[in-house]
């Protein structure tokens, strides 16, 4: 008897506390909180910097690993220290692992600039966390490859929200000794009853649904997919069905590049999606792999340095954006990370002279074949007005269901 009461107390405790805590925070409301407020997409009115002033002496930088090296990883890889010397802005660098982590950290308002991929940038703009960027104040902007300016993922209605850093495509990697004949397109990973069943890998993120949508775009034109990031419910269902068929053939999903590299090395995975620099790392280890740009196009990423709407050090932030996108530094960071630099003049400064060719940096035709990661939103990105498209929340839900 006594025990029962203690158990009851243990259960009742949190509930009681819960009702007490309710007072702080929750507003009474109906059952409609799931209804997204961001129908379509109007950028909140955030003021743009008009001119540059006195530098504040420090800047908070939020970056993908490898974008802001200060020599701690490799003594020869350091472009943060020269920046500090040049501008007098002390750089406080924080690396993040996923786009969503970047989003969370930006919301704190503690950081001035962020290197955002296309699947984070629109969300930063929509939530009012990113400010428009006055490109007239950035000397480096003139040298940025023209095909990276004013794109869906870094601008709204012709207003730039940052300065491009670099881009790359998701490639198809395979073991040359195990996969014959060599695959040429994404059919290889999506075909049913693949001879490589159980040895296929896929990227572990809801954004991978776009890869399946791209495949459908090429193979099932009746579905009418025009942009793999603008899927209505029917098209999303079709893409999900493709991925559910693929699921039994997948050896594992990867999001950690080292894990993928190791799986290809051991032969647990012989075929699947990859990034250029993972292929480079594996080839450097003498693993017989080859990464090809699929004949039917591919998805990819394009990163943009954006400035926080709550930036306390805007002048140092502009100094950083100008510096990081300048030819020499852009070459250093892009080469360290393994992607095509955004600055056209960066190609003169890479240590490996064939670098820009390997990454097709100036190849507009190559870049046009890439569908860059973009956050799916309700308002269809392909311009359709008669249907509602599925948003990232639904994609996340779908991704959980695909993995089962």
Partner 1 sequence: MTATSTAADRPPRAGLLHRSPRLRVGLLLTPPMLWLGVAYLGALAALFITAFWGQNSFTGTVERTWTLGNFRDLLTIDVYRTVTARTIGIAALVTVLDAVIAFPVALFMAKVASPRTQRALVVALLMPLWASYLVKAYAWRGMLGTGGLVSWVASPFGLDTPGFGITGLIITLAYLWLPYMVLPIYAGLERLPTSLLEASADLGARSGTTLRRVVLPVAFPAIVAGSVFTFSLTMGDYIAVRIVGGPNQMLGNVVFDNVGAANNLPFAAAVATIPVVVMLVYLALVRRTGALENL
Q: Which residues bind partner 1 (CB under 8 A)?
A: 3, 7, 11, 13-15, 17-18, 21-22, 25-34, 36-38, 98, 100-101, 103-104, 107, 123, 126-127, 198, 205-206, 247, 250-253, 259, 262-263, 266-268, 375, 377-378, 391-394, 396-397, 399-401, 403-404
Which uninterrupted H or E stretch holds 8?
helix 2-22
Measured distance CA(349)–CA(299) in Å, rounded:
27
**C-beta of residue 373 within 8 angstroms of C-beta of residue 356:** no
Instruction: Note every long-range contact of 100-108, with CB atoms under 8 Å and residues 24 or more positions apart, other chains counting.
Output: 102/62, 103/129, 105/62, 106/62, 106/130, 106/308
Measured distance CA(354)–CA(239) in Å, rounded:
37
Q: Of the two residues 101 and 290, which places its CB atom closer to partner 1 in the complex? A: 101
Record the tokens describing residue 355, joined without a space: 């670098």
Q: Of the two residues 1 and 365, which places its CB atom closer to partner 1 in the complex? A: 1
Rounded CA Rg of the chain: 23
Q: In angstroms, give the least distance from the CB of 202 to partner 1.
A: 8
Q: In angstroms, give the least distance from the CB of 243 to partner 1.
A: 11
SS3 19: helix
Q: In angstroms, give the least distance from the CB of 115 to partner 1.
A: 18
Q: Of the two residues 31 and 74, which places its CB atom closer to partner 1 in the complex? A: 31
Count of other CB atoms within 10 angstroms of residue 44: 12
Q: In angstroms, give the least distance from the CB of 33 to partner 1.
A: 3
Q: Of the two residues 207 and 321, which places its CB atom closer to partner 1 in the complex? A: 207
Q: In angstroms, give the least distance from the CB of 303 to partner 1.
A: 18
Measured distance CA(24)–CA(33) in Å, rounded:
18
Q: In angstroms, give the least distance from the CB of 87 to partner 1.
A: 32
Q: In angstroms, give the least distance from the CB of 266 to partner 1.
A: 5
Q: Of the two residues 55 and 388, which places its CB atom closer to partner 1 in the complex? A: 388
In this structure, are strands 90-95 and 271-275 parallel, antiparallel, or unpaired?
A: unpaired
Q: Of the two residues 131 and 144, which places its CB atom closer to partner 1 in the complex? A: 131
**C-beta of residue 306 within 8 angstroms of C-beta of residue 127:** no
Q: Of the two residues 166 and 272, which places its CB atom closer to partner 1 in the complex? A: 272
Residues 6+ apart with CB under 8 A from 260: 201, 254, 269, 272, 274, 278
């Amino acid at each position: 008897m006594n025990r029962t009461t203690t158990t009851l107390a243990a259960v009742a405790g949190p509930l009681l506390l819960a009702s007490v805590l309710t007072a702080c925070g929750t507003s009474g409301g109906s059952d409609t909180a799931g209804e997204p407020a961001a129908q379509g997409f109007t950028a909140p009115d955030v003021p743009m910097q008009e001119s540059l002033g006195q530098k504040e002496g420090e800047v908070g930088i939020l970056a993908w690993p490898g974008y802001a090296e200060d020599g701690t990883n490799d003594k020869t890889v350091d472009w943060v220290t020269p920046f500090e010397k040049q501008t007098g802005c002390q750089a406080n660098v924080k690396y993040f692992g996923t786009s969503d982590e970047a989003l969370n950290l930006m919301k704190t308002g503690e950081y001035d600039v962020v290197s955002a991929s296309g699947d984070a940038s629109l969300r930063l703009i929509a939530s009012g966390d990113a400010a428009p960027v006055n490109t007239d104040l950035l000397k480096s902007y003139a040298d940025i490859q023209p095909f990276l300016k004013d794109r869906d993922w870094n601008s709204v209605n012709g207003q730039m929200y940052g300065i491009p850093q670099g881009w790359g495509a998701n490639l198809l990697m395979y073991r040359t000794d195990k996969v014959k004949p060599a695959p040429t397109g994404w059919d290889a990973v999506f075909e049913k009853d693949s001879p490589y069943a159980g040895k296929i890998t896929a990227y572990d993120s809801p954004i991978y649904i776009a890869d399946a949508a791209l495949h459908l775009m090429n193979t099932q034109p009746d579905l009418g997919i025009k942009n793999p990031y603008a899927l209505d419910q029917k098209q999303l269902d079709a893409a999900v069905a493709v991925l559910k068929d693929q699921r039994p053939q997948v050896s594992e999903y990867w999001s950690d590049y080292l894990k993928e590299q190791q799986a290809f090395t051991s032969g647990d995975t012989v075929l699947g999606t990859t990034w250029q620099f993972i292929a480079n790392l594996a080839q450097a280890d003498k693993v017989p792999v080859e990464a090809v740009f699929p004949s039917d196009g591919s998805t990819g990423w394009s990163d943009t340095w954006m400035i926080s709407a709550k930036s306390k050090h805007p002048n140092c932030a502009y100094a950083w954006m100008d510096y990081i996108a300048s030819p020499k530094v852009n070459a250093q960071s892009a080469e360290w990370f393994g992607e095509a630099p955004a600055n056209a003049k960066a190609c003169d400064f890479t240590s490996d002279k064939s670098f820009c060719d390997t990454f097709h940096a100036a190849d507009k035709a190559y870049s046009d074949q890439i569908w860059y990661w973009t956050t799916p939103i309700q308002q269809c990105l392909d311009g359709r007005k008669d249907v509602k498209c599925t948003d990232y929340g639904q994609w996340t839900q779908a991704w959980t269901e695909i993995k089962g």
